Amino acid sequence: MKALLLIDLQNDLCFGGAIEVPEGDAVIPVANRLIPDFEQVIATRQWHPADHSSFAAMYPWRRPGQIIEIDGQPQLLWTMHCVQGSFGAEFSPKLHISQINKIIDTGTSAQADNYSAFSDVDQKIDTGLLNYLHSKHITALYILGLPIETSVKNTALQALESGFDTYVFLDGCRGEMRPATEEMIEGGVTILRLDQWEKYRHQQDKIRLL
């Protein structure tokens, strides 16, 4: 079985959000178009406590974009975003959330960063996504979301490592496109465009009518 995985289609990553991805809103219609084609639709959302260690506001005289050291490890500082229960953490109001089967929260620990839908950066905190996919007998994962250079790319590569046939809809992503796309292709991820999917769906419909 195949599943559609929507990565962080939240207000804070869309137009006017705290960590806005340029043209991030453009992926929402792509997501809405694809949702009906999948029996399983999963959405991740960043769901940070207000005192998350990556927020620059936690450190006097620090600002977003700076790198500090925490427990001997470098930490990139961010503007506060996707705080649990906040408007910024909500899904885009244009997203058809009623058709989503499962929500996976990421970044819920104040001391850990998540740049993948599967686990934190140290792979010590499991989000539960892998177990859910196995419980639904998912073998192929189709991914889109924001931003492509971190959460989408890392999720896709980790999905491959976990044994899933992995596809990324390029039309459904925004961010630093070229380097992330090249890295995913080199890693074995299949890159798709919406028109290719439409052609595939049309062929499948014709087969069913025979």
Number of domains in the chain: 1
**Is residue 63 a part of any domain in this protein?**
no
Any idea which residue has 């991740």 for tokens? Answer: 44
List 166's β-bridge partners, or say none. 141
Structure confidence at residue 210 (pLDDT): 45
**Is residue 110 a part of any domain in this protein?**
yes
Residue 16: domain span: 2-46+96-209
**Is residue 145 a part of any domain in this protein?**
yes
CA atoms within 13 A on the CB side of 40: 20
**Is residue 102 a part of any domain in this protein?**
yes
Structure confidence by residue, pLDDT tens digits, 152-209: 999 999 999 999 999 999 999 999 999 999 999 999 999 999 999 988 776 765 555 4
Rounded to the nearest 5 degrees, what angle is found at the Cα of 122, between the Cα atoms of 116 and 125? 70
Length of the chain: 210
One-character DSSP codes across 49-104: -TT-TTBGGGSTT--TT-EEEETTEEEE-B---SBTTSGGGSBPTTS-GGG--EEE
**Is residue 62 a part of any domain in this protein?**
no
**Is residue 79 a part of any domain in this protein?**
no
Q: What's the whole-number average pLDDT of the chain? A: 92
Structure confidence at residue 202 (pLDDT): 67
Residue 127's closest CA among 85, 83, 158? 158
E strands in the chain? 2-7, 40-46, 67-70, 73-76, 102-106, 140-145, 165-173, 190-192
Residue 91's closest CA among 174, 173, 28, 30? 28
- The pTM is what? 0.93
**Is residue 88 a part of any domain in this protein?**
no
Give how far Cα 164 sits from Cα of 64, 83, 95, 110, Å: 35, 31, 26, 30
> 67-70 and 73-76: which strand pairing?
antiparallel
**Is residue 163 a part of any domain in this protein?**
yes
Contact call for residues 7 and 172 (beta carbons, < 8 A): no
Q: How confident is the model at residue 110 (pLDDT cuts 50, 70, 90)?
A: confident
CATH of the domain at 106: 3.40.50.850
% of the chain beyond a pLDDT of 90? 82
Contact call for residues 104 and 82 (beta carbons, < 8 A): no
